[in-house]
Amino acid sequence: MSSADTTWLTIFTGIVALAFLIQSIASIGILRIVRKLSDRIEGVSVETTNRILALSSNVDELLSTLRRIAEKAEGISERLNAATSVVSNRVKDLDSFVEDTTDAARLQVAKIQDLVETSSVRITETFDMVQKGIVAPVNEFAALIRGLKVGFGFFFRGRRDPSSQSHHDEEMFI
């Protein structure tokens, strides 16, 4: 081998050694970064685990509270259904009562209306009978008495004084 080849071989070996040294330094730097990153991830992992455990206990408490609420709501639902059933039955009974009462009231109103009409007809008939049977004869008798009175007055008094008659006419116009 020649000296030029040896020189080139030495230069090439030096470049390879230098590249290997740089690669080793870079690997050590990467190792340190990976260790720091691993420590950070481990810290975050521990913190996340603690938070997840706390959250899990809170979720357990929430679930137990929701179970109690659900049990109470179930009781409320049963009571509400029972109350709704009672109210529905009462409303049906009330509706039936109102319907019966309305029918009875209508019947009574019809009876009262019939009674009023019958009474009105009978009162009218009674007034007509009183008019024809009592008032008309009384009026006729009163007219007869007035006529007799005027007639007797005319015969027994004689003639009237004309001055008193005109005086009487004037009073009528005043």
Q: pLDDT at residue 163 above 80?
A: no
pLDDT score of 20 = 94
pLDDT score of 33 = 94
pLDDT score of 37 = 92
Max mean pLDDT among 16-20, 70-74, 125-129 falls in 16-20
Dihedral angle, C-alpha 13, 16, 21, 27, nearest 10 °: -150
Percent of the chain at pLDDT above 90? 20
pLDDT score of 162 = 52
Give the residue-averaged pLDDT of 24-33. 94
- As given in the structure block, the two tokens for residue 72 are 């109470």
Tell me what the pLDDT averaged over the chain comes to. Answer: 85
Identity of the residue numbered 25: I
Element (H, E) at 115: helix 3-130
Q: Which residues lie closer than 8 Å to 9 by C-beta, 6 or more apart?
A: 1
DSSP for residue 143: H
Angstrom distance (rounded) from CA 146 to CA 137: 14
Angstrom distance (rounded) from CA 38 to CA 33: 8
Q: pLDDT at residue 168 above 60?
A: no
pLDDT tens figures, 63-110: 998 888 888 888 787 888 888 888 899 888 988 988 998 998 888 888
What is the domain partition of the chain in residue ranges?
9-157
Query: What's the predicted TM-score (pTM) here?
Result: 0.36
